[in-house]
Amino acid sequence: MPSLRRSVVHNDANDYNVLVSHSRREPREVVSVIDFGDMLHTITVAEVAVAASYALLSKRDPLAAAAQVVAGYHSVFPLDEAEIALLFVLICTRLCVSVTNSAYRRTLAPDDPYVTISEQPAWAALERFSAAHPRFAHYTFRHACGLPPVPHTERVVAWLRSHQPEFAPVLDVDLRKEPGLVFDLSVASPLLGADPRAGETTSLSETLFGEMHQRGAQVGIGRYDEARLLYTSPAFAGGEHPTDERRTIHLGVDLFAPPGTAIYASMNGTVHCLGSDTARQDHGPLVILRHTADNGAWRARTGSGHGWQYLLGNELGKTHSREELVQP
């Protein structure tokens, strides 16, 4: 924080301190702000953190609400990357200060509703907002500011492209030469149709491997970043209400192959996790590998599930070559 930009900030930008034009037409224009008694000289990014902490009150998606404020502020007065990285903890801190002040002032003036006007919304917002993973919040704010969400994305992509010839095939089959079948498992998939039962594990497996056999394909491929309706388990929902947001995007590449097919790591790595997720529509048998590059400057993880019928044994934490990272 000592290295951040400093300036005089209003320090209490909220809807009770905003004056708008007197008009019946929406939206009304903001013409001024009031209540300058909280102004102080501090880190500049505190201004947008304070404003965002008020804007997210009573919102179903407080992170998205905060991101809108950050985007608007950044469009007029650009934040730097160090400031953006602190936003999540600063907003959480402001909410903590708010509920603490309200609780204290209630003991001094128990009959004054104004001193506690934002206490309950602030508690609810703090609980919901702080549930977001700090890295996800950081990446969300970077994206709102027009930056690559993950700071080291460009370095990782450049490294992957420059080392592409060194990566080994994941299967014994060369997917660039042998016949493979790319499946459409999206919302509009003609393969699955409109019957929800077609997406259940048993039915889907029969459909996919039947198509592969009919087409003479050794491997089936499921696409990355595909919008799917297969995530029907409650585990993929944001809440218990039927209209609550749920997962739809597939963040991975599926390789469908017969049981017993050998699968390899594409580069040397360390076994990070072994397990078997047995819940409905979960991964099933799971192996996660950790890869490092540039002397550990960045790490990547790869995982698998949905039908792997083999594990790597009790080898957690041990480093292996690609050839050793397979045990049919």
> Are both 17 and 101 inside the same structural domain?
yes
Backbone angles phi, psi at 170, to 5 degrees: -75, -30
Which pLDDT does position 103 carry in this prediction? 86
How many helices (H) and strands (E) would you count in the chain?
7, 13
Identify whether residues 82 and 145 lie together within a single domain.
Answer: yes
The whole-model pTM stands at: 0.71
Task: Determine the pLDDT at residue 263.
Answer: 86
| 3-state secondary structure (DSSP) of residue 293 | strand
Asked, for residue 160, whether it belongs to a domain, the answer is no
How many structural domains are present in the chain?
3
Per-residue pLDDT of the chain (328 residues), as tens digits, is 889 999 999 998 888 898 998 877 777 888 999 999 999 999 999 999 999 999 999 898 999 999 999 999 999 999 999 999 999 999 999 999 989 988 888 888 877 777 666 678 889 999 999 999 999 999 999 999 999 999 988 888 888 899 888 888 888 888 878 878 999 999 989 888 888 888 888 889 999 999 999 998 989 999 999 999 888 888 888 778 877 888 899 989 999 998 888 888 888 888 988 888 888 777 788 888 888 776 655 555 555 544 333 333 333 444 444 444 443 3
So what's the pLDDT on residue 323?
Answer: 46
Looking at the structure, tell me whether residues 122 and 224 fall in a common domain: no
Task: Report yes or no on 57 lying in a domain.
Answer: yes
pLDDT at site 309? 31
Q: Are residues 57 and 132 in the same domain?
A: yes
Give the structural domain span for 58. 6-151
Residues 195 and 289 in one domain: no
205 plus 308 within the same structural domain:
no
In whole angstroms, give the CA distance from residue 273 to residue 72.
41
Sign of the dihedral through C-alpha 135, 139, 140, 141: positive
SS3 track for 57-73: CCCCCHHHHHHHHHHHH
CATH number of domain containing 90: 3.90.1200.10
The reply to whether 251 and 317 lie within a common domain is no
- One domain for residues 87 and 204: no
